[in-house]
Each structure stands twice: as C-alpha cells, then as structure tokens.
Structure 1
Amino acid sequence: MPESMLEPVSPLMGAISEGALTVRDAGPTGMIALRGDLSDPAFTGPVEALAGVPVPGVWQASGSDTRALLWMSPDELLLLMPYGEPRSAAPRLQAELDGQGVFALVQDVSDMRVRLKIEGSQMREALARLTPADVSPAAFRAGSLRRTRIAQAAAAIYVLSEERAEVFCFRSVADYAFRLLSGAARNAPDFEYF
C-alpha cells in the first residue's frame, strides 16, 4: 500500500478518560524540533515564516491549537503543526538554514512524542499531584510551558487557559502518562488547593 494512503495512528488510539476532568489523546500531531540561536534573526526569521507565529519568550508558547511554537530550552523550540506537514517542511527549512550558513538542527519528531489534553476546572490540582513544577496560577499562567516530569516520565506541560493544559511526553511512555493523568484527574475536586 502506498505510504500516502496510510492513516497516522496514535499509540493511545484516541483514548479518553472522563470524570472530574477529561484527559484525552490529542491524536497524531506534526512536531518539528528546532535547535539554534534563538537571538539570531537568521535562524528565527525562517522559523517564524514556517510557523506563522513569532518565537515565544522563555517558558512561553505562541500560536494556536493547530500551529504553535513552544520554547523548550535556551536553544530549542518545538513547532506544532498538522500531522504530515513536517515530512516536507523539516528538510526544506534545514536546507534553507544550511544555505544561509546558519548553524541549526531541524528534525521531524512527530512520531516520537504524544500530546495529551487535560480539561476541567481542577486541572492544576491534577497536575500538582504528579509534577514537581510549580503549577500555581501566579507561577504558571496561560501561555506558559515547563519541561518537567510527571511521576517518573519526562514531560512538557503547556497551560492554555485556567481549565486547559497539554502534556507532551515520549511515545514510549504514552500509556503510563495517560494512566497517571487519568488517575490524578479522578479525584481532583477533592483537593481545591488553587
């Protein structure tokens, strides 16, 4: 069967856990890891042109549900886009940066990570049960991102609003992360800490 006819599949197969909060598999998402000098316009210019959004500040994200740039470290961004786009976009951007003599790494990581969505008024309480990161509203506002852990798994947490967050983790721990988040969300209203 030609590759173009295969449908992408998430390792969680669209899993949803509903209770006090909703935890759901966001499904296949296009992701490009970008490493370079975030203060160099020769790097950020082509990245912003591809993303369609500005490079975010430290511990921030910019964009929308379908297309966003996430600050991952002082020299790394994660570009989110519709699944399938990175296959051609990543090599094209790498070639453009190479052609300008810009030192950068552009890698399609769409099949390496999963994206989980958490929704509900006690979202922060559920996350606080699993991560050492300060998830209080004062420290972790909407539009903020943290690379941290949830229990024993490396993860990034992106807060979209007071009732919505996304967790990114490696595909190999997708089921573990989903079960952790689902369990923490089950009794979240009992907490009412934030």
Structure 2
Amino acid sequence: MSNVVSALNGVSQSGIALVEETGLRGMITVRGDLASKPMAKALKDVLGASVPEQRQIASGEKGAVAWMSPDELLVICDHGAAEDIIASLNAALAGEHVLVVNVSDARAVFKVSGECAREVIAKLAPVDLAPGAFEPGMMRRTRFAQVAAAFWMNDDGSFEIICFRSVARYVFDLLCVASVDGSEVGFFN
C-alpha cells in the first residue's frame, strides 16, 4: 500500500503573511436534512458539535462541522479518524435519507496567518472581509481567482482554505503572489 501524502508535501512561504499547506486533513461530506433532530443528535454524539448556522463553522471535540449549502455539511477532522467518524455517523443516521462520504484525499488545505492574512484573502475572494463583516467562525464557499474554494477564519485571525487537490499548486501560487513582501494595500489597517 502506498503512503498517503498531502497535495504539496507541506510547502510554505513567508511574506506579508505566512502561507502554508497544513498537511493531511480528514474531510467528510454529509448531505441530508440539516434541520432534522437525528442529524443534530448524530453530530453532537459523534463529534461533540452542533449543526452550524448558514455560512458558519462549529467546533466539537472530534472535529469541526462547516455549513456548505442548505443540505450539505463538511466535517473536518483528523485524517486518520475519518473512516471511524463515517461509520459512527452512518450508524447514528441509520434509516435517514443521508449521504456520508470521505472526500479527504480529493482536497488540499492551506493556512494563511499573520498581520496581513485578512488582506491576502481579500485580494483573491469576492467576499466582504472587513472586520465586523467577516469574523472567526464564519465560512464562505466561493472562488479564489479561477477556482472553487472555501475558507473560514480561526479565533487567532488566521484563515484556512480548502480547494480541490487538482488545483492545489494554483491556489498556493495565488496565495504566495497575494502575500509577497511589499504588496500590502493597508485597507484593513
């Protein structure tokens, strides 16, 4: 069996912000009735997380749950725990009309941190990132230049970006160009 590796093997670059691939991450797509009591109970029992509100991400002891659409969530967890979480969610949701599937190896995750992290993301995504408009715990499914991506803001002010593995190099390069030394715009300072 081959070794599982991240898309870009942990590459990073420092400029006005630090851009780094975060390595392997477990990701599980969950589709179903997000307003159902069985869904809420399954997420609480398996992950310790609640069903997030629209465009939010909720944390639990075993992972985070991100709102992706009116009938879709993304569970973000330890890569090695994904299969066990899938089995537990499927058992907890037995009899419900749901889809629970491992998409971990189809995605790449990047982190942008530092004083200008908000500015770097704002250069690439058509989202209002002004303080007050976008805060920790918020999630957006959008585009970064020419490709689909999703991102959220952490409590420490850093951002995490998810994209398809097939465009990981493109997204990393975009983030690096947006964070090159001397490229500060100063809009949020």
Paired residues in the alignment total 188
**Secondary structure of the equivalent of 1:111?**
helix
Q: Please identify runs of 4+ aligned residues in structure 1 that moved more than 6 A.
A: none
Q: Which of 173, 176, 182 is residue 179 of structure 1 equivalent to?
A: 173
Residue 168 of structure 1 aligns with an amino acid whose one-letter code is I
Does residue 93 (structure 1) correspond to residue 89 (structure 2)? The answer is: yes
**Secondary structure of the equivalent of 2:171?**
helix
Q: Which of 13, 20, 39 is residue 17 of structure 1 equivalent to?
A: 13
Q: Which runs of 5+ in 2 are unaligned?
A: none
Cα drift, residue 48 of structure 1: 2.2
Normalising by the residue count of structure 2, what TM-score does the alignment of the two structures yield?
A: 0.92
Task: Indicate the residue corresponding to 1:191 in structure 2.
Answer: 185
Q: Is the 1:122–1:188 contact (alpha carbons within 8 Å) kept by the matching residues of 2?
A: no
Q: Which of 111, 118, 135 is residue 117 of structure 1 equivalent to?
A: 111
Measured against aligned partners, the alpha-carbon deviations of 1:52-110 in whole angstroms (never above 9, x if no partner) come to: 22221111111179721111111111111111211232144224423xx2111100111
Task: Indicate the residue corresponding to 1:29 in structure 2.
Answer: 25
Residue 22 of structure 1 aligns with an amino acid whose one-letter code is L
Normalising by the residue count of structure 1, what TM-score does the alignment of the two structures yield?
A: 0.90
Residue 26 of structure 2 aligns with an amino acid whose one-letter code is G
**Secondary structure of the equivalent of 2:124?**
coil
Residue 14 of structure 2 aligns with an amino acid whose one-letter code is E
Q: 1:64 to 1:26 in 2, by over 3 A?
A: farther
Q: Which runs of 5+ in 1 are unaligned?
A: none
Q: Which of 107, 119, 126 is residue 120 of structure 2 equivalent to?
A: 126
RMSD of aligned C-alpha atoms?
Answer: 1.9
Q: Is the 1:145–1:157 contact (alpha carbons within 8 Å) kept by the matching residues of 2?
A: yes
Distance 1:42 1:65 in 2: 19
Distance 2:159 2:65 in 1: 15
**Secondary structure of the equivalent of 1:154?**
strand
Cα drift, residue 185 of structure 1: 1.0
**Secondary structure of the equivalent of 1:190?**
coil
Q: Which of 68, 85, 98 is residue 104 of structure 1 equivalent to?
A: 98
Q: Which of 33, 41, 51 is residue 47 of structure 2 equivalent to?
A: 51
Identity of aligned residues (%): 38
Q: Which of 33, 38, 49 is residue 34 of structure 2 equivalent to?
A: 38
